[in-house]
Each structure stands twice: as structure tokens, then as C-alpha cells.
Amino acid sequence: MPSFDALLPFFVASAIFACVPGPGMFYAAAQTVAQGSRAGWLSAFGFHLGGYVHILAAAFGLAIVLKTVPVLYVAVKLAGAAYLIWLGIRYMRGFKSRPVTPDARASTGRKAFRDSVLVEVLNPKTALFYLAFLPQFTDGSASLPVWAQIVVLGAIVNTVFSMTDAVCIVLSDTVTRNMTASRRVERLAQCLGGGVMIAFGVNLAVSRQ
């Protein structure tokens, strides 16, 4: 691995990127507001695991395919955008009170986890971010292969991103709990969460990169 002096800019840049509101942060917050803290935490965990798909893609060159084949990139991007918009509409139209039984909570948690993994995997921007960012901090003369360095560095970045997602979940859950526990407020929270997902989907669809 590169020396600590060489990696210092990496840690600084990772911290800065982590503090910039991103899809994982907004999505986890939306799930927390709409479905409760359990769904928020499982969403963040799903985003974290989905991030490793992009890290491995960057390590083994799979992300280059997305970069060099515009049609494939657009197809993946639109699929991810459509899925997000569909989730947002489902949340806004299919309102249900927060689950109160253990089975209902488990079902909601599983859906939140599954959806977050798919949302992250279907976001080609994440793949290109890791492909562009991580190789800058690798050392070809190091004993560890470059692909392995990318995996290690990617895991660090992914963990830092998840830490900021966790802070966002805690804040969102605190605000939600302090709101009046009424059906109208829950309905508003559900619509807010769905609206965030739709907005993120539209932004992904119309973005040029």
C-alpha cells in the first residue's frame, strides 16, 4: 500500500465526499421517515453492501465497460431511475401505518434492505466514481496488487460513507419521533419519503453523466 503521506489526501477527500449529501444518505433518511428506524438502518446496510459491487467492478475493470459503452450506461441508469420512481410512487399511494407486529416489521425491513441493494447496484454513477477516484491512490510498486489496493481503499470509502448515512438516520428518526403520532403526520412522512425517492430517480434519469 502507499505510504501514509501519500494516503493523507485520500482520507481527506473521502471525508469531504462523505459529508456531501448523496443518494445513500437521502434514501436512508426517506426510509427512516416513512417506515421507521429499522427500515432506515437496513437501507443503509443494503447501500453499504451494494457499494462493494461497484468497488469490485472498479477493481476488476468492469466499470470501464459502463464508461466505454454509452448504450449500456444509459440502460443501467434508466433502469435504476425507473425503479426509484416506482418505489416512490408505491410509497405515496400505498400508505400503511408503521408496522406494529414483529412479522410486519421483519417484512418491512427485508423490503427496505432489498430495495436499497437494487437502488445502489443500478446506479452507474457510483461505479464510475470508484473507477475514477480509487486508482489515483494506488501504488504500482507496492507488494499488494493494484486490484487489491482498490478493494481495500474502496472498503474504507464505503465505510466512511455509511458512517454519515448513520448520522442522517439518527437525526431523521429523532425528528420523526418528536412529531405528533397521528395518521395525518404519518401520511405526510410517507409522502415525503416517496417524494425524495421520486426526485432522486428523476435526477438520475436526466443527468448527463
Give per-residue pLDDT as tens, 15-46: 888 887 777 787 788 888 777 888 889 999 99
pLDDT at 148 over 80: yes
176-187 residue pLDDT tens: 776 645 556 666
> Where do the structural domains in the chain lie, given as residue ranges?
25-206
Letter for the amino acid at 196? V
- Band (pLDDT 50/70/90 cuts) for residue 49 is very high
Render pLDDT for 70-80 as a digit per residue (tens, 0 to 9): 888 788 778 87
- How far apart CA 57 and CA 50 sit, in angstroms, is 11
Q: Which of 208, 201, 207 is nearest to 83 (CA)?
A: 201
- pTM for this predicted structure: 0.74
pLDDT at 98 over 50: no
* Least confident segment among 44-48, 104-108, 157-161, 168-172: 104-108
